[in-house]
Amino acid sequence: MTGQAEPRGVSEPLFYEPGARWRTVAFGPVFCTVALIVELATGPVVHWVALPVLAIVLAGFAYLMVTAARRHVSVELTRTGLRQGTEELEVGEIEAVLPPAMDSWDEPQRWESARVLGELANVPRGRTAIGLRLRGGTFVRAWAKDADRLRVRLGELVGA
């Protein structure tokens, strides 16, 4: 560490997707609270123990899922690097951002079967692949929910 401050804008995210939102953890307890209110208003049987236990279990599972998604399915692009899940790639390594795949192409492009960034077996569900050519001619697939915006941001950095 040099002790000098980084220039403004170097580490600020140009693009960010968290992978999952923390509010998801609250869905189970909210539904259990609604069920408790309905039981109190409509019937003689109220599940005083079962509903709170179920709320805690649902919140616990949701917490695990959100934590995993934020670690493995988040995307962050800064001026110096692209982080896809647990893998980081320097922007300087990217030679070209390739055009999106078209259904009208007779054969798939080389990048469409390339390795997926983020140490994943495939592009995560709900995300769209973006082809990248790295220095040395290697192809990889980046991905994001808002793939068009990530493609534009990457193009701005690579073209600069």
Predicted confidence at residue 104, as pLDDT, reads 64
Q: Which residue has the tokens 């790639």?
A: 89
Predicted confidence at residue 3, as pLDDT, reads 47
Which of 158, 112, 160 minimizes the C-alpha distance to 139?
112
* 153 pLDDT higher than 90: yes
- Tell me what the pLDDT averaged over the chain comes to: 90
pLDDT band at 108 (very low <50, low <70, confident <90, very high): confident
| pLDDT tens-digit readout, 7-43 | 555 578 999 999 999 999 999 999 999 999 999 999 8
| pLDDT tens-digit readout, 60-69 | 999 999 999 9
Per the CB < 8 A criterion, the answer to whether 109 and 48 are in contact is: no
Predicted confidence at residue 119, as pLDDT, reads 87
Give the three-state DSSP class for 36.
helix
Q: Which residue has the tokens 């793939």?
A: 147
Q: What is the mean pLDDT of residues 141-145?
A: 96
* 6 pLDDT higher than 80: no
- pTM (two decimals): 0.80
